Structure 1
Amino acid sequence: MSHLSQSTSQPSFPALLPTMLRRVHHIALNVRDMQASRHFYGSILGLRELQGDEVPETLKTLFEAGEAANFVTPDGTVIDLFWKPNLTPPDPNPTREFTRAGHLAFDIAPDLFDHAVEVLNHHQVTIDHGPVTRPTGRGIYFYDPDGFLVEIRCDPA
């Protein structure tokens, strides 16, 4: 799977500027044991678990079913946990590198979202899906060169 084209025959196209991506919005992690993960992130790491109206509307059904939990870091980054009970590590040796992350999401101003999509398309970044529009904003999901899923999202305009 080719993630980025490095063709030199096309004229230069501007990249997103470092100031355009404002912050990490959330990190989604797939977990095999939700209770153990909630204990770890809440009781051991001391992150505050979102409750009630704090839970994003798009996750309420999963939250109520015990299939998602949301924690917030002191800087406001949200860590979403998604229950995947059949998840097994790619290698039984836990010292070997592997990831449990679902995707990394960057927040961008709503008026810059379409430009970000143009930049991704111009650079022939492999798009997983999107752009999508939800009550919580817009998003586009794509792969980094190693196949890790990344999202750029914005709040509603």
Structure 2
Amino acid sequence: METVGLVLGNLRKVHHFALNVKDMAASRYFYGQILGLHELTGEEIPSTLKSLVEQGKVANFMTPDGVILDLFSEPDLLPPNADPKYQFTRANHLAFDIAPELFDHAVEVLKQNDVIIDHGPVSRPTGRGIYFYDPDGFMLEIRCDPQN
């Protein structure tokens, strides 16, 4: 029988993750200043996106492990419900890993910046996590492995 689709193991890694955002300035501040992701500038910007970045329609960030997060400006974007607890996309959340000793500080940064917390911090056998929303109501998680 012929194999249909991708052969197990051929996919190497996540290349990028793209989000539509209503307020580019608020989202750039959130991902760059609050979460501390590196915003791509100059020669770091993919050539295919340079004109969109220059027009303020796209911003690109790099996560600590090299995955690119693309933000696409959609100023007319409205979720079906203003309350972010009512999920409106098929994506559930994007999780960032942090060292266990930095987890509590990350929670404080979120609180100091009045970020809307969905739930947490929670402790599980797999570690600790906190779930919160970006300016467009997309759920994010900061999680860490259990401390030894």
TM-score band (shorter)?
A: 0.5 to 0.7
Amino acid at match of 1:58: T
- d(CA) in 2 for partners of 1:34 and 1:78? 16
What aligned pairs does 1:16-27 form with structure 2 within 5 A after superposition?
16-27=6-17
State the Cα distance separating 1:14 from its structure 2 match.
Answer: 4.2
Which structure is higher in strand share?
A: 1
1:34 — aligned with what? 24
Q: 1:55 to 1:22 in 2, by over 3 A?
A: same
State the Cα distance separating 1:75 from its structure 2 match.
Answer: 1.0
State the Cα distance separating 1:13 from its structure 2 match.
Answer: 2.8
- d(CA) in 1 for partners of 2:90 and 2:66? 21
* Aligned counterpart for 1:83 among listed residues 73, 77, 93: 73
State the Cα distance separating 1:28 from its structure 2 match.
Answer: 0.9
RCO comparison, higher one (Cα < 8 Å, 6+)? 1
**Runs of at least 5 residues in structure 2 that lack an aligned partner in the other structure:** 92-148
Deviating runs (4+, > 3 A) in structure 1? none
2:105 — aligned with what? none
What aligned pairs does 1:117-156 form with structure 2 within 5 A after superposition?
none
State the Cα distance separating 1:54 from its structure 2 match.
Answer: 0.6
State the Cα distance separating 1:68 from its structure 2 match.
Answer: 0.7
Find out whether 1:93 has 2:79 as its counterpart: no
Secondary structure of the structure 2 residue equivalent to 1:22: coil
Secondary structure of the structure 2 residue equivalent to 1:88: coil
Percent identical residues: 57
Secondary structure of the structure 1 residue equivalent to 2:49: helix
1:61 — aligned with what? 51
State the Cα distance separating 1:93 from its structure 2 match.
Answer: 2.4
State the Cα distance separating 1:16 from its structure 2 match.
Answer: 2.1
- d(CA) in 2 for partners of 1:38 and 1:67? 12
1:72 — aligned with what? 62
Secondary structure of the structure 1 residue equivalent to 2:16: strand
- d(CA) in 2 for partners of 1:42 and 1:13? 43
TM-score by length of 2: 0.57
Amino acid at match of 2:21: V
- d(CA) in 2 for partners of 1:39 and 1:71? 11
Corresponding pairs, count? 91
